[in-house]
Amino acid sequence: MSKWYPKNGRVIFHVDMNSFYASVEMAFDPSLKGKPLAIAGNPEERRGIVVTSSYEARRYGVKTTMLVGEAKRLCPDLIVMQPTFERYRTASKEMFKILANVTDVVQPVSIDEGYMDITGCHEQGSPPEIAEKIQNRIQKELDLPCSIGIAPNKFLAKMASDMKKPMGITILRKRYLPQQLWILPIEEMYGVGKKTAEKLRKINIKTIGDLASHPVFELKNLLGINGERLINRANGIDDRVVDPDAVHEFKRIGTSTTLAQDTTDDLEIRQVFRRLVNKVEARMKNKSVLAKNVQLTIRYHDRRTVTRSKQLQDFIGTSDELFQMAVELFDKHWNQTPVRLLGVTAQDLAEKSEVTQQLDLFNYEQYASKEKLYKVIETLTEKYGKNTFRTLKDSTDHNVTTSFQKDFLDDYKK
């Protein structure tokens, strides 16, 4: 057993659920199994973008972020469903409970993946045996497939879990890097996006092995501090620990939406901003945080994307304040061409309890004049839900609107 548990090293798992949303829907409705299935934001509109797809659909070329229309052209028999986030959230919670039964050192990183440090789990068997038990239990109890990477650090575990899907278990040791990791195209390296890969290929870095042996100073000149980090990763160096509390450490809260049609209509754009900031405000209140920076994202009709942000003198947290900053940034940076996507992100966050707001006379009058209104709205919202003044008919909670929302990732501990 000592060969599996080194005295001065660690044993890290990366557990990655396979085609998670589609797999959950198949577990819920077994008649979907074996069929090409895609989960999309809105199947009936152009903004319906594929969030994930089953492996049967992927064989036809259906990919994440592909428009629904394009996916259906590739796969005429494609079944397209809207996401049911509460269903996914429940499955995620149960999956992490299974991981937590093995070790307390579990770090969720998204709804469908997480790290485990099993260094202290000698009595439960070898790492491959533990991984197989986890995989089999998730399959048996939740009817969901997963892949597990086993390695001495988080980066290598993440790379290993991607090497065999679905239902794979892969061991990646540092001494096996030349045979297993370095032969892979640079685009397959975790942490290397499309633009970074293009830059690296221009200097003849085509594989992860090319990156591992490249001079550090040249990469730092090209990519800054990230260049040195990528070289370390390519050489299997990663000293990050598996941190169960990392889910509570966040620096931004944001949301975005693809418009039904490209638009230059100022009123429509402002209505979109209002919906976005309402969602951001709700999540900020849930976390009891305030922001000192607001970032705007604009994607144009030609898919060109720009981000602009503004650092503020005071912390803010209301939808009105977020809306004002978003519109100000938009009016300043919009190039007057049709807009496809808009996003608003609150950044530089701090706990409300840690923020001492020093109000000048103007801010005080502005805040005081609205304080009673804010209290009335909050009271009505707590009693009846959102959009109190529009309707009291629908009290269903629609707050969970994206897989990237991490507010619930510690639910498995409850």
Residues of each annotated binding site: 16, 112
Distance between CA atoms of residues 117 and 366, nearest Å = 50
Binding residues for Mg(2+): 16, 112
Count of helix runs (H) and strand runs (E) in the chain = 14, 12
Q: Where are the beta strands (DSSP E) in 119-216?
A: 146-151, 169-171
| In contact, 74 and 60? CB cutoff 8 Å | yes
Name the token pair of 132. Answer: 């197989």
Q: Is 116 buried (19+), middle (13-18) or exposed (0-12) by CB count in 10 A? A: buried
Point out the residues that are catalytic.
Answer: 113
Q: At CA 405, angle to CA 51 and CA 398, rounded to 5? A: 85
Phi-psi region of 74 (alpha: psi -120 to 50; beta: other; left: phi over 0): alpha
| DSSP-derived pairing of the beta strands 305-316 and 113-117 | unpaired
Q: Of 223, 298, 316, 218, give the one whose Cα is nearest residue 258.
A: 298
CA 320 to each of CA 83, 276, 281, 326: distance values in angstroms, whole numbers, following the listed order: 30, 11, 9, 10
Identify the H or E element spanning 343.
strand 339-351
| Helices of type H across 153-224 | 154-161, 177-180, 194-202, 208-212, 216-223
Cα 173 from chain centre = 27
